[in-house]
């Protein structure tokens, strides 16, 4: 995840997400071209490959356990923080793009957020296709799979996504340095993943979940739409509202 410095005077700030606790510049809307969208696309594909390689290295090459997985995962987050910096905000996670958006108008919010999420969905679909072409069988799994009914799945993914976004926003406002933010956010992601892995696969990423579902031909199913798309998105909006509500009350008390 990431730390964010948002310039509300920027016309493009509605769509810019500084992913994985890095600090980036904000360009005016009229200065932005397709480079950020290309960055999102390539970084999303890179993340799918990274996630697959983490599984292969942990369980196939080194035959390690959870400690090794955690170490490799945290190190990979520093890599994506660096990629985020050099691309001026490229990211692979729709929930973080939404959490970073501070729309001055609804139309700018739609342009900045929806367009980037669509690019991330396409990137995830391409990335999953590439990974499954190289790693056949169940070497890297089949993506998030729900072992519970739709109501429980919606609740699980919603709660996990809510905690994820609250944690991201909280660390963005309180953690002293980017290094600490990256480590703490990575640990939170891993903990949430372990909590929900036996229930829904702990997706918390609508774009990535769609990519895997598309590869299995179930991307239009009711479970996919409700559990892996709508639940995380609605939980993200609720988390943003709750966080800013509490922050505003604290600010009023200080004043």
Q: How far is CA 92 from the centre of its chain?
A: 6
pLDDT band per the 50, 70, 90 thresholds, residue 27: very low
Structure tokens at 203: 């997706």
The CA distance from 68 to 50, in Å, is: 15
Give me the torsion for CA of 18, 16, 83, 41, rounded to 10°. 140
> What's the number of domains the chain is made of?
1
**pLDDT score at 33:** 56
The predicted-structure confidence for 48-79, as pLDDT tens digits, reads as follows 999 999 999 998 888 878 899 999 999 999 99
What residues contact residue 243 under an 8 Å CB cut-off, 6+ apart? 165, 166, 169, 170
For residue 122, give its domain range.
29-254
Assess if residue 3 is contained within a domain: no
The predicted-structure confidence for 124-154, as pLDDT tens digits, reads as follows 999 999 999 999 878 888 899 999 999 999 9
Prediction pTM value: 0.83
Assess if residue 11 is contained within a domain: no
The predicted-structure confidence for 153-175, as pLDDT tens digits, reads as follows 999 999 999 999 999 999 988 87
Assess if residue 5 is contained within a domain: no
pLDDT for residue 202 is more than 80: yes
- CATH number for the domain harbouring residue 223: 1.20.1080.10
Alpha-carbon distances of 73 from 1, 47, 61, rounded to whole Å: 12, 11, 15
Assess if residue 17 is contained within a domain: no
Closest CA to 55 of 121, 160, 147, 134: 134
Integer-rounded Cα Rg, in Å, for the chain is: 18
Structure tokens at 94: 């729709």
Assess if residue 196 is contained within a domain: yes
Average pLDDT over residues 17-27: 39
């Amino acid at each position: 995840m990431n730390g964010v410095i948002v310039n509300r005077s920027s016309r493009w700030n509605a769509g810019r997400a500084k992913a994985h606790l890095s600090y980036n510049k904000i360009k005016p809307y009229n200065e932005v071209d397709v480079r950020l969208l290309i960055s999102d696309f390539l970084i999303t594909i890179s993340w799918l490959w990274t996630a697959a390689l983490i599984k292969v290295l942990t369980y196939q090459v080194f035959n390690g356990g959870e400690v090794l997985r955690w170490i490799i995962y945290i190190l990979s987050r520093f890599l994506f923080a660096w990629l985020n910096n050099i691309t001026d905000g490229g990211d692979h996670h729709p929930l973080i793009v939404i959490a970073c958006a501070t729309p001055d108008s609804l139309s700018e919010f739609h342009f900045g957020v929806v367009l980037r999420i669509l690019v991330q969905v396409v990137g995830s679909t391409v990335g999953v296709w590439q990974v499954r072409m190289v790693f056949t069988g169940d070497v890297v799994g089949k993506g998030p799979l729900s072992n519970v009914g739709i109501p429980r799945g919606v609740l699980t993914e919603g709660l996990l996504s809510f905690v994820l976004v609250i944690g991201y926003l909280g660390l963005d406002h309180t953690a002293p340095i980017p290094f600490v933010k990256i480590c703490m956010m990575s640990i939170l992601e891993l903990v949430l993943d372990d909590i929900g892995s036996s229930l829904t696969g702990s997706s918390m990423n609508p774009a990535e979940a769609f990519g895997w579902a598309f590869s299995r031909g179930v991307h239009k199913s009711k479970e996919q739409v409700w559990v892996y798309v709508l639940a995380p998105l609605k939980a993200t909006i609720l988390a943003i509202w709750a966080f800013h509500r509490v922050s505003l009350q604290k600010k009023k008390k200080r004043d």
